[in-house]
Structure 1
Amino acid sequence: MILAEAFMRDPVSEWIFPDEEHRAKSHPAFFGEFVNLVLEAGEIYLAGEGAGVTLWLPVDGSDEPDEGQELLQTLEAAVGAEATKRFAVLDGLMAANHPSEPHWYLPFIAVHPDQHSKGVGSALLRHKLTQLDEAGSAAYLEASSPRNATLYERHGFGFGPSILDLPDGPSLYPMWRNPARPVRG
């Protein structure tokens, strides 16, 4: 699974799963739950033959009930109580800071480690962002490293008003992108 391999060295994933062996064993089930969620409610885009993937979810700005508790129970059965507790901290922090305006949310973009620095991530972003620009829709994500944030900045994302700091862990960088407006002559 692309997500499982791509996030093995991600600082947030390392925080959720501090033990590398547990991380390697748990990642397929962990990311599988998010793939299932996005298959039901969002869009998934693949690049090449397993080169990369993006998961997108529409956020309409309503106060619909969150499916978070059900997800946490499923995750606990799949990855264990400690990792689920850490994920719950992360999820709570992200939820408390998530914009309420309608937008498309990018919870995950992953590029297979063998495909880094080949333009796969940019191509995946451009594909969906072009659609969002045409529809007049905004996009939101949390970058898990300054390096990743640089990629998103190149695609028109700007930093949010605050940085999200995990307890004794890494920071996440909320980023927002308004739709690009075509230049009219």
Structure 2
Amino acid sequence: MTSKIIHLDKTRIYEATETLVAAFRKDPITGYILSHTNSKKDEISRNLWSATLRYAQPYNHIYTTPENKGVAAWIPPSEYPLNFLQILRAGFYKIPFLLGFAGLKNFLSLFTLFDKYHAQDMHQRHWYLFALGVSEAYQGQGIGRLLIQPILKSADEEGLSCYLETSTERAVSFYQKHGFKILRTEEKPVKFWTMKREPNN
């Protein structure tokens, strides 16, 4: 599968957001966060992904294709830990109002755990895969591999590790094929894995 990989321009955040909403519609983490919401699930997911992309976009390490087949958003080593004020400014200030108390509790419990494990396991400078999603119609065609290659190559050249969280066995298998190894497997509050890739020098 050949496809051109480009940096995501801020004028295309809406299209990239829609790609991620569709890619993660059946994801266990999405289901957990939205489990107390009976309606407007896509609207809430859209706000979450838009804020995610708006947070990452200034660092200029979001990759996509001209046809929006998929999106990979990375946080560079110099920008971790995440900046709480920037997170709010990117659009996450809306989330409590959209999720309600129960949904917000789920959201905070999960991402507080993500942040805790991330800080415990990654003391060295590293690249953080903030999001990777491929449109359902293009899954299994090598798009995900192409989207992460620019940073994997850069990490190898710089001698830096990469880190991510994921929530499906299929994704775990995908990342393992690209050099990631499981650090943790957690069952609560929803099953997820944390993974790390050492530089391939």
Q: Same fold (TM over 0.5)?
A: yes
Report the CA distance shift for 1:146/1:68 in structure 2 as closer, same or farther (over 3 A): farther
Aligned counterparts of 1:138 and 1:9: Cα–Cα separation in 2: 29
> Does the residue aligned with 1:163 lie in a helix, a strand or coil?
strand
Is 1:94 the counterpart of 2:114? The answer is yes
Which amino acid in 1 is paired with 2:140? S
Residues 61, 101 of structure 1: 8 Å contact kept: no
Unaligned runs of 5+ in 2: 1-17
Residues 143, 173 of structure 1: 8 Å contact kept: yes
Which amino acid in 2 is paired with 1:121? G
Q: TM-score, normalised by structure 1?
A: 0.85
Give 1:166 shift. 2.8
| Percent identity (aligned) | 25
Give aligned pairs, total. 178
Give 1:89 shift. 0.8
Is 1:171 the counterpart of 2:171? The answer is no
Residue equivalent to 1:6? 23
Give 1:40 shift. 2.9
Residues 72, 84 of structure 1: 8 Å contact kept: no
Q: TM-score, normalised by structure 2?
A: 0.79
What are the residue-to-residue correspondences of 1:110-149 with 2, within 5 Å? 110-149=133-172
Report the CA distance shift for 1:69/1:27 in structure 2 as closer, same or farther (over 3 A): closer
Residues 63, 71 of structure 2: 8 Å contact kept: yes
Which amino acid in 1 is paired with 2:97? A
Aligned counterparts of 2:113 and 2:177: Cα–Cα separation in 1: 26
Report the CA distance shift for 1:64/1:139 in structure 2 as closer, same or farther (over 3 A): closer
What are the residue-to-residue correspondences of 1:1-185 with 2, within 5 Å? 1-18=18-35, 19=37, 21-41=39-59, 43-60=61-78, 66-67=84-85, 70=88, 73-98=93-118, 99-160=122-183, 162-167=184-189, 170-181=190-201
Which amino acid in 2 is paired with 1:10? D
Cα RMSD (Å): 2.3
Aligned counterparts of 2:117 and 2:182: Cα–Cα separation in 1: 13
Q: Which has the higher helix share?
A: 2
